[in-house]
Structure 1
Amino acid sequence: MEINWDAPEFNYYEKSTGWFFASIIIAIFLIIFSLVQGNLMFLIFVVIAEILILYWARQIPDMIEYLLDERGLHTGRGLFLPYSLMAGFAIDADHPHDPFFELIIRPAKKFSPDIKILFPAERNEEFREALKTRLKEIDYEESVMERVIKILRF
């Protein structure tokens, strides 16, 4: 078994001028609120957060090469994750209009975050069948924050 594919680092959504305008308006309201409350720390936090949001919203993802073989998952960036460090996997195919689905890998270590990797949506069954031979398929439920990020298309 060997599966090669290229995928973006993350799902990129084109943001309209209105998206940026709404973000700035919300930040202005929060800045006014912090000034009225006399909360300088919150003011600094809002300014830094808005600068980061505007910067990250314009960031285009890099394409990454992946290889899934009998040993584990390899990336074009020299990272390797063997099956022995994986507890299970899930496939997030809840958004069928997206060109890429998410492969969610649950690490064997209890307090490690899930690893999310994009793969071409049309290869969904190929990935599921290949991974089922090595890992158990787990139930995965998006957190509230993940849902908010998808709704905001961030």
Structure 2
Amino acid sequence: MQQKYKEYLKLNKNILLGFLASIVVSAFVAQEFANQQSYVNATITLGVDYVVYFSTFGILFYFDNKKKYLLDTGKLDKVGLRRDLVKIISSLGIGEVVYTICRWSLQYYLLTNSYQAYVASLTSQSISTVIYMATVNLSVKLMRLYKDGH
């Protein structure tokens, strides 16, 4: 398998594992704040979602890529690392804007239509994550993060 496809698989694995961790915690938090106003519940749940997702994703991404930026001398390839960090942060940032809008508005809508808080959280996060993954993968491809020879 080509190296760039392995990189895409690792990225998507990290996104999915971050998602799985955050969906469980977010559902519990949503249910804990079920007695709050819908906009408060959606906002708190989204905040917890981000903390859990980015913590999990960041740790996994670091472990998958820590050797990638070492030169033969054992020193850090700062130029390559900086270039790729800009691309990955840009790709994730674009995806996060789309995700935030979808997740918050879907959860708010479901809560205002009498769905249980944990169901609203699970549903909105699942739908938003699919949209997020498509956006991130398209962004990574357009920015050529995993181009041949890298």
**By the TM > 0.5 criterion, same fold?**
no
Structure possessing the higher radius of gyration over alpha carbons: 1
Whose relative contact order is higher, 1 or 2, with alpha carbons under 8 Å and at least 6 apart? Answer: 2
Structure with higher strand content: 1
How high is the TM-score relative to the length of structure 2?
A: 0.26
Structure with higher helix content: 2
